Structure 1
Amino acid sequence: MTILLWLLILFAIHAVALAKQRQFNITHGSSLTPITNSSWFSPSRNFAFGFYEQTNGYAVGISIVGMPNKTAVWTANRNSPVVPSNAVLLLTSDGRLIVHVGSQEISVINPSRAIASASMLDKGNFVLYDSDRNVIWQSFDNPTNTLLPGQHISAGQELFSSASEADDSFGIFRLEMQHDGNLVQYPVDTADSAPYAYYATGTYRAGNNVTLNLDDDGLLYLHNSTNRLRNLTRGGYSRERTIIYMLKIDADGILRVYSHSLNQQNSSMIWSSTDDRCIPKGLCGLNGFCTNTDDQARCLCLPGFDFVMPENWSVGCERNFTAETCRLRENTSKYYDMRTVENTVWEDSTYVVLGRTTKEDCEQACLQDSNCEAALFKDTECRKQRLPLRYGRRDLGNSNLALVKVGVNFIPNEGLPNQTVEETKGKKQRIDILIAGITLTVFALLVLGISGFLIHRRKFY
Structure 2
Amino acid sequence: MGNLVLFDKRKRAIWQSFDHPTDCLLPGQNLVSGRKLIASISATNHSQGLLALSVLNGSWAAYTDTVPPQYYYSSSYADSSYYSFDGQSFTSLHYPTNSTTQFMKIGPDGHLKVSQWSVVDWNEVSDILSPYVENCGYPMVCGSYSICTNNGQCTCPPQENFFRPFSERKPDLGCSQLTSICCNSSQYHSFVELKNTTCFAFNVDLELNSSKLWLAQTMLEDCKRACLNNCSCKAAVFEYRWEGEHCLLLNEVFSLTDSEEGRGKTVFLKVQNTSKAQTQSLIIPLSGGKKSRPFKVIIGSTLAAFFGIILSIATCFVIFRKKAHESRKAADILDLAPILPGILTRFSYNELKIITDDFSGKLGEGGFGCVYEGTLRNRTNIAVKNLDGVGQVKDSFLTEVKAVGGIHHINLVKLIGFCAEKIHRLLIYEYMVNGSLDRWITHENKENGLTWSTRQRIISDIAKGLAYLHEDCSHKIIHLDIKPQNILLDQYLNAKISDFGLSMLIEKDKSKVVTRMRGTQGYLAPEWWSSVITEKVDVYAFGIVLLEILCGRKNLDWAQPDEENVHLLSVFRRKAEQEQLIDMVDKNNEDMQLHREAVTEMMSLAAWCLQGDFSKRPSMSLVVKALEGLVTVETNLNYDFTHVPDVGAGNQEREVIISSKFPSILSGPR
The TM-score normalised by the length of structure 1 is 0.42
The TM-score normalised by the length of structure 2 is 0.30
Which structure shows the bigger proportion of residues in strand conformation? 1
Which structure shows the bigger proportion of residues in helix conformation? 2
